[in-house]
Structures are given as structure tokens and as C-alpha cells.
């Protein structure tokens, strides 16, 4: 597995050497040899923080070293480490350390910096089913999110108020990651149903259509991150497969409306393949 982690170490070293520069999605894809959608998830689930959060941490921690050991102004330091202005520098610094750069400069107290990143892999290697799926029409509503369960739950509460046919309706989530380097994974999430709502005309589109690696997540949706961790911090390194840029799809095969037992709930995760 150590060899397979090289893509993450390459990203870490690249970020450490270029944290004060404008880093593009293409830069990260060239360094890691993965699409940005995949490398940002590999990085998060292997390192515990996103690429954007790591870059911001490098900026403020290097700024703090300059505050301690140089006589430069706070504005100059903020610009040197890659912030656009003193306001964005001060905000990020205070979020990370709990005090303002000005207070840190006056007190010169020892602030706690984060540990070096050491990527880890999951001990569990999942065995997905490789499936070819025909495209199907769905009816949907969307929300921009940082893949936050609470935001997704709110969307589903609104979505299910549309009253879908009880018999024959299948439910899906479509997760389209945005190619933005941010401190959290930014995406558009679509709540989808295979049948049109009974009390409102929803927009439609087609999903699937192609080859996917299908993973089974057993248990409540609240623990689905555990399955994603196994996928992105282990399986993806061993797969030897090429991944498509199309969105991840979740199918809610047995959800809370089907069973009161959380252990019996079943969500399928479909990763698109080329």
C-alpha cells in the first residue's frame, strides 16, 4: 500500500512547495495522476482534511513563523503567504489559531501548529460488483452543499413532500463534485425519484448509462462516510480501473421508510468507470 499512497505524498509535497501560489485543478491532476474529483476525496479520506483546508493551514502556519521571526508588517506577511488582502488573512488566521494576527504579534505566545500529514489506508478492502447500467429518467430537486448530511436531509424532506407513487418509485442521490479547491468538498446534490411527483411537475434528466463499480453500504445513511473511507483510502488504489468524470450516484434500496431496523437499511454507491 505504501507505493499506492505515492499519489497523496506527491500532492502533499507539491502543496508544501507551492502553498503561497494559485494552485489549479489541472496542477493537482497532473501531480496525482487522478481526476480532481477523485484526488480530493482520496486526500480527505486518507489524510482527514481536504486539499483546500491543508493549503490554508500551510498559509497561516507559515505566516505565524514570519510573525515570530521577522519584522515584516502583517499586510506584507499575509500577501507573501498567498492571501489576497489583510482581511482574508486575519479571518483565516483567527479561525485556525483562535486569535488575530495582531494579537499573536503582540503576545508572541507559542501557538499550536498542526501535525505533519501522514496518509493512512483502510484495513478493509471492499469488493464491489462491476455493473453496466442503462440510462433511466429521473425527476429531481437540487441543492449546493458541502456534502453535509443535515443539508441533504432538509432537501429530502422538501422533496418527499411532492408525494410520489408508493408502488414502483425508486430513489437516488446524484453527487456532482464542483472542481473548486475549498476547505470542504463542494458539490451539487440532486434528490431524484424514478417517477414524476403527483402534486408538482419536477424537472427531469437521465442518470446512469455506462459502467459502474457498485458498493453496498449497510446501515443508516449517517454512517455512509465509513464506506466512502474504505473506497477512497483503500479500494481505489487496488482497483486498476479508469474512472469517469460523471457524478457518483447513490441508490436508496432500503431506507428508513422501508425498515425500522437501521442495520437493515441498504444504500448502493455507484462510482462511474470509463
Which homologous superfamily does the CATH classification assign to the domain defined by 3-107?
A: Homeodomain-like (1.10.10.60)
* Domain 129-273, CATH class in plain words: alpha beta
Q: Which of 15, 14, 36, 11 is nearest to 25 (CA)?
A: 36
Q: What is the pTM of this model?
A: 0.89
The pLDDT value given to residue 101: 94
Average pLDDT of span 30-43: 93
Chain centroid offset of residue 43 CA: 9
Rounded distance between C-alpha atoms, residue 124 and residue 102, angstroms: 47
Categorise residue 82: left if φ over 0, alpha if ψ from -120 to 50, beta otherwise. left
Burial class (CB in 10 A: 0-12, 13-18, 19+), 25: middle
Reported as a single tens digit per residue, the pLDDT across 106-149 is 987 777 777 788 899 999 999 999 999 999 999 999 999 988 77
| Model confidence at 54: pLDDT above 80 | yes
Show me where the domains of the chain are located. Answer: 3-107, 129-273
Q: What is the pLDDT of residues 55-112, one digit of tens each?
A: 999 999 999 999 989 999 999 999 999 999 999 999 999 999 999 999 999 987 777 7
Amino acid at each position: 500500500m505504501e507505493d499506492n499512497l505515492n499519489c497523496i505524498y506527491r500532492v502533499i509535497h507539491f502543496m508544501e512547495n507551492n502553498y503561497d501560489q494559485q494552485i489549479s485543478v489541472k496542477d493537482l491532476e497532473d501531480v496525482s495522476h487522478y481526476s480532481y474529483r477523485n484526488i480530493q476525496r482520496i486526500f480527505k479520506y486518507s489524510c482527514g482534511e481536504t486539499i483546500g483546508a491543508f493549503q490554508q493551514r500551510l498559509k497561516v502556519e507559515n505566516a505565524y513563523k514570519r510573525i515570530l521571526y521577522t519584522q515584516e508588517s502583517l499586510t506584507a506577511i499575509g500577501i507573501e503567504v498567498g492571501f489576497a488582502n489583510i482581511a482574508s488573512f486575519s479571518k483565516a488566521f483567527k479561525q485556525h489559531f483562535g486569535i488575530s494576527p495582531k494579537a499573536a504579534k503582540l503576545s508572541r505566545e507559542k501557538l499550536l501548529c498542526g501535525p505533519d500529514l501522514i496518509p493512512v489506508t483502510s484495513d478493509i478492502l471492499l469488493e464491489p460488483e462491476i455493473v453496466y447500467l442503462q440510462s433511466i429518467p429521473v425527476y429531481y430537486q437540487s441543492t449546493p452543499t458541502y456534502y453535509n448530511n443535515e443539508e441533504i436531509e432538509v432537501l429530502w424532506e422538501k422533496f418527499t413532500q411532492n408525494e410520489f407513487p408508493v408502488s414502483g418509485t425508486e430513489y437516488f442521490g446524484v453527487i456532482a463534485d464542483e472542481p473548486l479547491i475549498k476547505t470542504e468538498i463542494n458539490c451539487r446534490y440532486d434528490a431524484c425519484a424514478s417517477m414524476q411527483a403527483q402534486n408538482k411537475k419536477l424537472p427531469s434528466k437521465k442518470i446512469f448509462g455506462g459502467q459502474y463499480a457498485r458498493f453496498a453500504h449497510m446501515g443508516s445513511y449517517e454512517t455512509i462516510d465509513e464506506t466512502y473511507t474504505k473506497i477512497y483510502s483503500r479500494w481505489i488504489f487496488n482497483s486498476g480501473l479508469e474512472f469517469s468524470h460523471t457524478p457518483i450516484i447513490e441508490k436508496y434500496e432500503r431506507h428508513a421508510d422501508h425498515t425500522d431496523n437501521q442495520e437493515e437499511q441498504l444504500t448502493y454507491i455507484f462510482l462511474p468507470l470509463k
